[in-house]
């Protein structure tokens, strides 16, 4: 199950980055990818990385989350609940301060905040799937 989680989020991150790479040669494929991600991300161009003149299919925070979940699923982390709560709080503070116009558009910090949130979420999910796997083996 952990490998499924890992590969799913690697695939999501790669698909998001593939959209701008496909935009020139395969616009329908790029549009389908962007439409898929539009269900979960605002896709504001100003808050997205741009590759070859086209925006990535998700904002920088979402891209960080997808990459981070894959990283977190691949490694063991101690204290995942607290780490997740802390990184979630940091992301909420960033969202709130941006809404209050206390700071501008900072793509790299947003990506890093998304990355650590995803990393802690992936580690928490992986920990839960390992615990369920051990429980099934013991029964």
Tens-digit pLDDT profile for residues 60-117 = 999 999 999 999 988 887 888 999 999 999 999 999 999 999 998 899 999 999 999 9
CB 74 within 8 A of CB 6: yes
Instruction: Quote the pLDDT of residue 10.
Output: 93
- Look up residue 130 and give its two tokens: 């390992």
d(CA 43, CA 137): 43
What does the buried/exposed string (b/e) look like for 8-45 if buried means 16 or more CB atoms within 10 Å of the residue's CB?
A: ebbebbebbbbbbebbeeeeeebeebbebbeeebebee
Q: Which residue has the higher pLDDT, 127 or 41?
A: 41
SS3 state at 51: strand
pTM: predicted TM-score of the whole model, two decimal places: 0.88
In this predicted structure, the answer to whether residue 133 has a pLDDT above a threshold of 70 is no
SS3 state at 84: helix
């Amino acid at each position: 199950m952990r490998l499924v989680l890992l590969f799913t989020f690697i695939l999501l991150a790669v698909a998001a980055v593939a959209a701008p790479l496909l935009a020139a040669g395969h616009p329908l494929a790029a549009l389908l990818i962007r439409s898929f991600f539009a269900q979960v991300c605002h896709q504001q161009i100003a808050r997205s990385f741009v590759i070859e003149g086209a925006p990535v299919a998700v904002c920088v925070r979402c891209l960080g989350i997808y990459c981070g979940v894959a990283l977190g699923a691949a490694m063991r982390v101690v204290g995942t609940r607290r780490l997740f709560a802390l990184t979630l709080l940091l992301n909420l503070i960033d969202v709130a301060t941006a809404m209050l116009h206390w700071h501008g558009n900072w793509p790299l910090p947003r990506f890093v905040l998304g990355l650590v949130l995803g990393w802690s979420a992936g580690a928490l999910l992986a920990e839960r799937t390992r615990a369920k796997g051990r429980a099934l083996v013991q029964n």
